[in-house]
Structure 1
Amino acid sequence: MIIFDTSIWIDALKGKNTAEVQLLIKKTLNGEVVLTPIIIQEILQGKRFDDQFEKVKRNLTGFNILKSDPLKRAIESASLFRELRKKGFTIRKPNDCSIAYEAIKHNLPIVHNDSDFDLIAKGSDLSVLEV
């Protein structure tokens, strides 16, 4: 199983043909993609029209979704953010710490197009899958 960050999903929805998008398509067909609630939120909040929102929502909720206790995720994500900052890494988007926490917790690699995840990987046990 692999987590694909929101950045890759957005590229896919825009019709971009990157190596990461091609891997997303392949892994989707093989049933090897897992999402987090935050990734779903980030994708859906970018949908301007109701019909797009509903269609994408239906498609995304058909994937495997990691579920965790929201309070524990919030605390552990904040702890990850703080530990990274102590090591000199400033993460621009706190949601990336939440996504990274889920990946670390479930020992899953992440594919991304977002420099925050490279910083998180340098200062934690996050596994980034290079494409």
Structure 2
Amino acid sequence: MILVDSSVWIDYFKGVHNAQTEHLDALLDNPEEELAVADLVVFEVLRGFSSQRTKREAQTLLLTTQVVEIGGLDNALLATEHYRLLRQKGYTIASPIDVLLASYCITHGHDLLHRDADFDVMETLRGLRTWPH
């Protein structure tokens, strides 16, 4: 399964063309790929729309993918360990949602498509798998 971070979805909905949005476009066109979005990523993405119509269109597309819940107690406890160990190595991850998302992916062996340097740190130091490999 491949989860997609808000950094990619936001660029995608803004019409930004980069490697990550092209990968997302290809994933959306390929029914063979198991694509997912985290519940808290849905929040991060949809909160930025000023127009109800474009928000509704984005929501429809987001919800065509599998939605996974990343905010439960078990994942929260694991995420605190990832965060604490990264802090000990001198890295502070800005977004708590990013730590929860990375923790979920690490625990379940899922890949993450992103455009966020904080995830690069988690890939190097905590074993996060990113997509494409």
Residue identity in the other structure for 2:108? H
TM-superposed deviation, 1:55 = 2.2
Aligned residue number for residue 113 of structure 2: 111
Aligned residue number for residue 36 of structure 2: 34
Q: Report how many aligned residue pairs link the two structures.
A: 131
- Please give the secondary structure, in 2, of the residue aligned with 1:28: helix
Residues 1-131 of structure 1 aligned to structure 2 (within 5 Å): 1-31=1-31, 32=33, 33-68=35-70, 70-130=72-132
Residue identity in the other structure for 2:26? K
- Please give the secondary structure, in 2, of the residue aligned with 1:123: helix
TM-superposed deviation, 1:87 = 2.2
TM-superposed deviation, 1:68 = 5.0
Q: Which moved more, 1:10-19 or 1:62-71?
A: 62-71
TM-superposed deviation, 1:78 = 1.8
| Cα deviations by residue, 1:52-72 (Å, 9 ceiling, x for unpaired) | 222222221121122356222
TM-superposed deviation, 1:25 = 0.8
TM-superposed deviation, 1:130 = 4.9
In structure 1, the gaps of 5 or more residues are none
Counterpart CA distance in 1 for 2:120 and 2:113 is: 10
Counterpart CA distance in 2 for 1:4 and 1:54 is: 19
Residue identity in the other structure for 2:56? E
RMSD between aligned residues? 1.8
- Please give the secondary structure, in 2, of the residue aligned with 1:56: helix
- Please give the secondary structure, in 1, of the residue aligned with 2:50: coil
Contact 2:38 2:70 in 1 (8 A): no
Q: Which moved more, 1:59-68 or 1:91-100?
A: 59-68
Counterpart CA distance in 2 for 1:69 and 1:100 is: 12
Counterpart CA distance in 2 for 1:13 and 1:84 is: 31
| Cα deviations by residue, 1:68-118 (Å, 9 ceiling, x for unpaired) | 562222222222111211222211111110110111122112121111101
Counterpart CA distance in 2 for 1:73 and 1:48 is: 31
